Amino acid sequence: MVKAIVKPSPEEPKSAPNVGEKEAESKVKAEEGAEAGVGASKPRNPGQSEEVEKRVEGGYYAVRKGDSLSSIAAREDVCGDSLKWLILLRLNMNELGNQPLGVDLPHRELPSGLKLKIPSPEEMKLNRKRRSGKAWTVNIKSTAAQEKIVPAAITLTKEGYPVYLSRVNVKGKDWVRLRVGFFEKRAEADAVGKEIQKILNIGDTWSSKAGKNELEEFGGF
């Protein structure tokens, strides 16, 4: 159960999306029902070497020159998907909270020597077990440009919500979805959606069930 957090209204109201973006997002929303049974698409890590240099020890990753949250998350010995930079941020807010949390955060070079907590197989197994039967999610935004949802993703992470980013392909076009999960009942997801609308100053979120593959992939985090 996600704990409701009461926060003052944001300092800068969010501007309304343009018509083209709104129509495109509606198409993704309309595809949710059909896509739920398929699950999340396979993570892609272009250019990653088969022989991965080991930098992981004792559940932590040692940052080296040139590393960013997205490049670390893309490593097979960490998360295996660059979009899971948001998972690393959530696990390391104490270490990263003093960094400028701007739109460039996913790809910004991190200080060398920083140690980041990474999800362990044991923790992921326990989380999946705890979330068994909880498939409801809050859909916050879908966009073809990841940078458009980075500010909202960071804000909700700072507020303590279990947010994640997933990919979906709709009619040959790749989209990135910002979601919060997971919940046993739709009413729970709806209630959290209303909280998020106030925090982000947006007028619409919607609840839907994640597919089995998506729950398996993200439920461990």
The one-digit pLDDT tens for each residue of the chain (221 residues) are: 444 444 444 444 444 444 455 555 555 555 555 445 444 444 444 444 444 455 666 689 999 999 999 999 999 999 999 999 999 999 999 999 888 889 999 999 999 999 999 988 999 999 999 999 999 999 999 999 999 999 999 999 999 999 999 999 998 999 999 999 999 999 999 999 999 999 999 999 999 999 999 999 999 98
Give the list of residues 6+ apart from residue 2 with CB closer than 8 angstroms, or none: 160, 161, 162, 180, 183, 192
Q: Which structural domains are found in the chain, ordered by start?
A: 19-41+124-218 (3.30.70.1070), 56-119 (3.10.350)
Radius of gyration of the chain (CA): 17
184 touches 134 (CB < 8 A)? yes
pTM of the model: 0.75
Query: What three-state secondary structure class fits 176?
Result: strand
Local structure of residue 81 (DSSP, 8 states): -
Residue 5's Cβ-count burial label (10 Å; 0-12, 13-18, 19+) is: exposed
